[in-house]
A and B are shown apart, each in its own frame.
Chain A
C-alpha cells in the first residue's frame, strides 16, 4: 500500500516535504484547484514524489458547461505536466436554488441518477482521463443508496471510486449503512482516503468528517479487517488532514496506517518470544 498525504495550501508545503524526505509518505495528493494559478512546472518541481489530484470546487454537477469547459482546459495542462496517479472529484451538492451551502449536502442518488450519470460521463470526457468519485460522509438517509450509486455509476460511465474509508464509517454511524455494503466498491478500486472525524457539538451526536484529529478506532479497525481487500498492487491510501496540522500527530497516524499495511503479515503477527 502506498501511503500519501493531502496538500491543500502553500503554508504546509514544508511539512509535506519533510514527510516525503523522511519517507513517511510515498506520494502526495494535491487539492489541485487551489493551485490553478501556480505554473504546472513549478508545482511539479515542489514534490519529489508521485502526486494524485483531488478536485474540490469544480462543482461539476451544478456549474454551467462553459465554466466547466474552461476549467477542464486548465486542469488538463496540470494533468499533462504532473501525470497524476489519479484524478478525483466530489459527488455533492454545493448549492441549493442558487445559494451556496457551506456544509455540503449529499445528492439523492436514485432520484437524480440519470442527470448525475450524464454529468459524470461528460466531466470525465472534459478532463480527458478516467475520473474517480469520492463517497460522501453521509449524515441523512441519502447515504443508504450510496453503495448502490457508486457501483452503478462505475458500470455506466467507467468512472472509478476514490473510496474514503472514514466517510463510510461516518455513514455507518449516522445512517446505518453497514460497511459490508461497500465490499464491491472496495474490490473495484485501488484508491482510498482516510481521515479523522469528530462528533457534532449538539446531541444526538452525529459524526462529521472533520479531518482535524487522529483516526477513529473504528476506522482503523475497518482498514485492519479489510486489509487484504484494500492492499493490492498499485493501491494508494491518502491520509487527509486539513485542520490541527501537527507534524508528530500526523506521523503517528501515518505510522498506524503503515503498521496495518506492512507488507509482511508474518512480522505483523510475530510474537515476542
Chain B
C-alpha cells in the first residue's frame, strides 16, 4: 500500500502555484482547507475551457470529463505545456495516443482546431489580425479573425481551398495573417508547446 501523501498547509499563492493545473496534486492539501478549494477553482477553469467549448469530448469521456481531463492534465504537466491557445490541439495529440484513439472523427479534429483558433483570436495581443490552422490529415483550413469592428466578435471559418496548401508536417501547422484577408501563405509553423 502506498504511503499516504503528506498533507500540506498552504496560506500563500506560492505554496499552490505548482499544483494549480495538476489535478493529482490536489490531494496533497487538506480537503477542508481554503487551499483545496482555491485549487479546485483553478482546475475547474481548465475543465470548463475544454468541455464548454468542445462538449462533444464528453461523449468519449463520460459526463464528468475526468477520463480525459485528469490524464491529459498530468501529461501536459510532464511536458510543461504552456496551456496557451494551443490547449485544444494538444488535447487532440493526447487523444491520439490514448484509449480514445480509435474514436476520433474528422469533426472532432476540426472542432478542436476551431477552438484553438478562436482562443488565439480572443487572447492574442500582438498586431496580427488572423490565424490559419491546418492538419496533415484534413483538407480544410480553419481560420480565425480577431474582433475588428465595434459590434463584432472574433470569427472562425472552416475553408476548403480550391488549390489546397501543402499539408503541414506532423499533425498541425499554423500561420498568422497580418490583416483580415487570407492573402498569403508564409509556410507552416509547428505548434508551440
Q: Which residues of A line the B interface, CB within 8 A?
A: 9-11, 13-14, 33-38, 42-43, 46, 57-58, 67, 70-71, 74, 93, 95-103, 105-108, 139-142, 174, 200-206, 208
Q: Enumerate 5 A-B pairs (CB-CB under 8 Å) in ascending A order.
A: A35-B150, A101-B42, A140-B12, A203-B37, A205-B37
How near does chain B come to A215, taking the closest CB pair, in angstroms? 21
Q: How far is the CA of A265 from the CA of B151 in the complex (A)?
A: 39
Assess the A139–B45 pair: CB atoms within 8 A: no
Q: How far is the CA of A154 from the CA of B84 in the complex (A)?
A: 32
Q: How far is the CA of A108 from the CA of B16 in the complex (A)?
A: 12
Assess the B82–A38 pair: CB atoms within 8 A: no
Per-position binary interface string of chain B over residues 2-32, scored 1 when its CB falls under 8 Å from any chain A CB and 0 otherwise: 0000000011111111101100000000001
Assess the B147–A9 pair: CB atoms within 8 A: yes
Number of A-B contacts (CB under 8 A): 122
**Interface SS, B side:** loop
Q: How far is the CA of A260 from the CA of B40 in the complex (A)?
A: 36
Task: State which of A70, A93, A97 has its C-beta within 8 Å of the C-beta of B13.
Answer: A93
Q: Which residues of B line the A interface, CB within 8 A?
A: 10-18, 20-21, 32-38, 40-42, 44-46, 49, 80-84, 123, 125-127, 129, 146-153, 180
How near does chain B come to A18, taking the closest CB pair, in angstroms? 14
Not counting A13-B151, A33-B125, A58-B125, a sample of 19 additional A-B residue pairs whose C-beta atoms are within 8 angstroms of each other reads A34-B147, A38-B147, A67-B125, A71-B125, A101-B21, A102-B45, A106-B13, A107-B13, A139-B38, A139-B41, A140-B10, A140-B16, A200-B37, A201-B40, A201-B41, A203-B32, A206-B38, A206-B41, A208-B41
How near does chain A come to B193, taking the closest CB pair, in angstroms? 9
Assess the B148–A37 pair: CB atoms within 8 A: yes
How near does chain B come to A2, taking the closest CB pair, in angstroms? 22
Q: How far is the CA of A37 from the CA of B179 in the complex (A)?
A: 9
B contact residues around A141 at 8 Å (CB): 11-12
Q: How far is the CA of A137 from the CA of B161 in the complex (A)?
A: 48
Task: State which of A11, A106, A139 has its C-beta within 8 Å of the C-beta of B153.
Answer: A11
Which of A43, A103, A105 lies at the interface centre, i.e. has the most chain B CB atoms within 10 A of its CB? Answer: A103
Q: How far is the CA of A273 from the CA of B92 in the complex (A)?
A: 70
Q: How far is the CA of A141 from the CA of B182 in the complex (A)?
A: 49
